[in-house]
Structure formats: C-alpha cells, structure tokens
Chains A and B, each alone.
Chain A
Amino acid sequence: MQFETVIGLEVHAQLLTKTKIFCSCSTEFGAPPNTHTCPVCLGMPGVLPVLNRTVVEYAMKMALATHCRILPRCRFARKNYFYPDLPKGYQISQYELPLGVDGWLEIETEEGTRRIGITRIHMEEDAGKLVHDETQPVSYVDFNRTGVPLIEIVSEPDMRSPEEAAAYLRTLRDILRYLEICDGNMEEGSFRCDANISLRPVGSSEFGTKTELKNMNSFRNVQRALEFEVRRQRALLEKGQAIVQETRLWDAGRGVTVSMRGKEEAHDYRYFPDPDLVPVEIDEAWVEQVRSSLPELPDAKRERFVRQYDLPAYDARVLTASKDLADYFEAAVAAFPQPKTVSNWIMSELMRELKRDEREIEDCPVPPAHLAELLQLMDRNVISGKIAKSVFKEMYETGASAKAIVEAKGLEQVTDEGAIEAVVREVLAENPKEVESFRQGKEKLLGFFVGQVMKKTRGKANPKLVNEMLLKALKG
C-alpha cells in the first residue's frame, strides 16, 4: 500500500528581549548559574508577575509576518505540572485565547511553492535548565532560563515529507532572524522543534495515529528523526500492526526514535486563566503600528533582488536565504555596482569557503568592502580572473585586503606592452623549431607560446595582450 506522510510542527522560539517575560531579570545567555533570578521568576509566594511589553510586540511581529489574525483580546493561563525545572509548579502560557491564529507561510519545495498553515502563535515562559549528575542520584537546577520569553508557533498538519518539514523550519527561522526577535540557534536551544507525524493510505482524508517526536537539536536531526519515523511507522502498518500514540525521543547517536513509555505523565494540565495577569487588549492602531515597523521579509527581498539587481530567481533565493547574506551582497554591490558579478563570487568562491569551514556569513573574514575591492582590481585589469581567485583564498585565510596582497606579492597584471613584447621575443628565440612549425601552418601552437609567456611572467601578463603580440610577432 502507498502511504502519505502527515507532519505538523511545534516550534519554541526564545525572544531576544533584554529581560524576562514577567520580571526584570536579565535574559543574558551563559551567565553563572542562578545569578539571574528574583522572587517572581523563582515563584515565591505573594509576588506579582508583570508582562514585558516588548514580548507582546515581538510576538505580534511574528504573528503579522506569518499572516496570523491577532486576537483583540488574549490572556495568560496556567499550565499545571510538576517538574524540577519549573519552580512554581505551573508554566504561564496561553491557552484558549492565544495572541494570533490562522496564519500561513510559503515554503519552496521541489514541486514548487507550498503554503503551510499556522494554527496559532502564543506567548509563554521558558523553564529552567537541569543537569544530571553522572554518578550520584541527583540533578542540578539552574533557574537563569526560567521566565525567558518564548513564542510557541504551532503549524497545521500540512507537511507531507521530512524535507518539507525541514524547509518549513528553515523558512520560519529565516523570518524570525529577519525580524531580529530570535537568534534561531537550534544547538543552543533558542529555537526548538517538536514534531507530530503520522501516515495514512494515499487518498485517505482521515489522519492516522500520530507519534510526537522530541529531542531533535539541529535541522539535520529533525529531518533524520522524521525519516526514521516514516520508515518505522510504514513497517508496522505494512505488517498490519497499530501505531501507538506516544512521545518518542530522537537518539541522534543511534539514529533511532525511542519510546518514552512510562516516563510520560498523562497530559492533564488543568489549564485555567492566570489571576495574577490582566488580559492583553490589542487594538487596530497597535497592530498597524507594529505592522509598519516590520522589516522587509525574505519573500519581498527575493522579489526586489530580481527587480532591482536584475538577478536570476535562483541567485535571489540563495542570497536572501539569510538577512546577513543579503546585507553582505548589498554592501558589496554598493561598492562595486555589477550585481551579477558580485552574486557569482558570493555564491561560488565565498560560499564554498564558508561551507568548508561550516561558518556563517557574519563570521566571514572577508568583509564586503574587501570583496568589492578585489572585483574592482579585476575589472580594471590590474589582476586577471585567475589570480583574483587565488588572492581571494588568501584574503579569506588572512583577512588582508585585496590591494595589500596584490602589492605584497607583486601580482599586478603586466599590461606594459614593452615588457610583454620583450618576453614574447625571448620565448620565440628559445623555441625556433616551434616558430618554424607555426609559420608552416601549425597554428595550434599558439597555445604553447601563450603558455610559455605566462610561465615566464608567473601568470601576470594580460592574456589578451599576450595573444595579440604573439600573433603579431609570429605572423609579422
């Protein structure tokens, strides 16, 4: 039987506010354990949480960027459960009245653009961090992260393959980063993803039994975990066995998902409205104010790159994949206004080096101004294209500017006709037999002479001039 995969994702994104969602403790990452806590985020009796306005505005930005409808009135609810990383015995979240609902975003797939629905976006607080002792039966709790603002973004079960799920996640992260409200770092946990996945016979409109996957801390792991789960569920269904609805943990080392059997509490969170927090009312004026503050988003930037710089759609998509890369391109083009040349160099030379080092563009040792300077040198025939590539490698390795490298190594292209002519004469004098053959019609030998001249000038002679002058000398 042919099966169709159905995937929905729940993403938690940590917001880049300076302070926590309900108290003025710092959200700074990497502080010594338990130095960013106060009576509010430690859940002491009698304290009063007060909502951080910036959290609401960041959440609104994401809701508007993903075409959600912002509810005119939303409120916070307590989600009750016990876990040592949760000092109050409940998490303040949103339940029946979230901030935004009914949104969507578009992803690029091999079959073209697909629209993925977003069920809801709500605000909530993060929990603390637990570290387990290797030898003793104890765990250590750090409450610095407790109360750091999160938005939870819940998708519709609209994805049909692990690749689509990965594409959705990347798109979501790109938007968050464009908005500058989340750094989107999966490894550090500022961008986390749980997945619901089920299979159903092709053509069926009902959903199959789903499993929930957790513990996937990279894009690659999300895709691998989903691929494994597709194979596991298909094998069971083909044997006529039932899928157990359960939570499974991804084990990246073994490349399998493992049932959390027995460790999971029945989901009975007994949500109720948090009496410590008043409702949030968002009127049209506030929505419009936030909407007008939205930066250019990836889709719009891609269209503009095609229009303004006359780039192919492919180039525009690659260059707008991250805001930093797009900014890099625009900075380089501002200094060297030949967009397609800049695009080619970024997509080939630059991205090859970055990929090899697994570096992000923001850590690129070649600033856009340096790249522009290199392209200028090439454009003015100071260096050849071939030499430019080796200069670029050195710029990337040392951080030095193109001019500095070209000057230090004496790589300027020789365009002085007298100098080239002297070398041409030398080469002809050293190779009388080849000269004779050429003059009797073996014109293929021109390549040999060009090679000899380039060798003597260590690749610095202007190839066009060398050609012209060789022909003149040989035929003249």
Chain B
Amino acid sequence: MKEKITREEVRHVADLARLDLNPDEEVQMTQQLNAILDYMEKLNEVDTSQVEPTTHAVERANVFREDVVGPSLQRDSALANAPQTDGVHFVVPKVI
C-alpha cells in the first residue's frame, strides 16, 4: 500500500515543529504516522455526505467578553517559569 506520509514529509514537519530527529527516529515516526493515518482511513467508511463540516463538538457561536479591563499578573509571576530573565523581560537567544 502506498505510504500516506513519506520520510521526506516527516522530516519537513519535524523541522517546522523544531524537532531534531535522528535517522532511526525518522524511520520510526514515518511508520507510526502511516499506521495512524491508515487507522483514520476507517472514518472514510462512514457516509458523511449529508453532514455539515464542524470544528466543535458543541453547536455554539458568539461567546464574547465585554471590553472591560481586569487584573493582569504581577510581573514576577509572569516571569516565574522563564528559563532566563533580567527581572523585567523574558530573555531569549538572539534572533533577528
């Protein structure tokens, strides 16, 4: 059976997701992802021609907040989980 996802595509997706896979992992991921996609194929057996596409389990729309300011975090709390800070900012490796 034709592969649903190639090793090349796995490498590309891994790259987009900033994952560093070694060659063994690439092979393993390709196999596993193909197995998952094959399994999902089963869904195609269901006739959905009469069903509207949906992105939510519940049929709701228009959930809003009013434009009223509420409390924000103390800066110390906001920065608490950061790997590196200067007490004011999150500090990250330089990007341009």
Contacts and interface: CB of A to CB of B under 8 A. Distances in A.
A50 interface: yes
B5 to A, nearest CB: 14
A82 B95 CA distance: 11
Given A34-B78, A268-B16, A139 B95 contact: yes
Contact of A138 (B73, B75, B93): B93
Given A73-B61, A278-B60, A281-B61, A37 B78 contact: yes
B73 A18 contact: no
Contact of A143 (B18, B55, B90, B91): B90
A139 B55 contact: no
Contact of A35 (B66, B75, B91): B75
Interface in A128-173: 130-133, 136-143
A150 B85 CA distance: 28
A83 interface: yes
B51 interface: no
Interface string B23-41: 0000000000000000000
B88 interface: yes
B56 interface: yes
Given A19-B68, A75-B55, A279-B62, 8 more contacts: A19-B67, A24-B65, A24-B68, A84-B95, A130-B95, A141-B92, A268-B16, A277-B63
Interface string A26-67: 100000111111110010000000111111100000000000
Chain B interface size band reads 20 to 34
A140 to B, nearest CB: 4
Nearest to A55: B67
A133 B91 CA distance: 10
A442 to B, nearest CB: 78
A441 interface: no
Contacts of A32: 75, 88
A270 interface: yes
Given A80-B16, A142-B89, A53 B64 contact: yes
B69 A139 contact: no
B69 A26 contact: yes
B79 interface: yes
A263 interface: yes
Interface string B41-59: 0000000000000011010
B67 to A, nearest CB: 4
B96 interface: yes
A80 B95 CA distance: 18
A138 B92 contact: yes
Interface in A113-135: 130-133
Given A37-B73, A82-B18, A273-B55, A52 B64 contact: yes
A253 interface: no
A17 interface: yes
A50 to B, nearest CB: 5
B56 A278 contact: yes
Contact of A53 (B18, B67, B70, B73): B67
Contacts of B8: none
A112 interface: no
B94 A132 contact: yes
A132 B55 contact: no
A471 interface: no
Nearest to A49: B65
A140 B62 contact: no
B22 interface: no
B86 interface: yes
Contacts of A56: 64
Contacts of B16: 80, 268, 270
Contacts of A277: 63
A280 interface: yes
Contacts of B58: 278
A33 B73 CA distance: 12
A225 interface: no
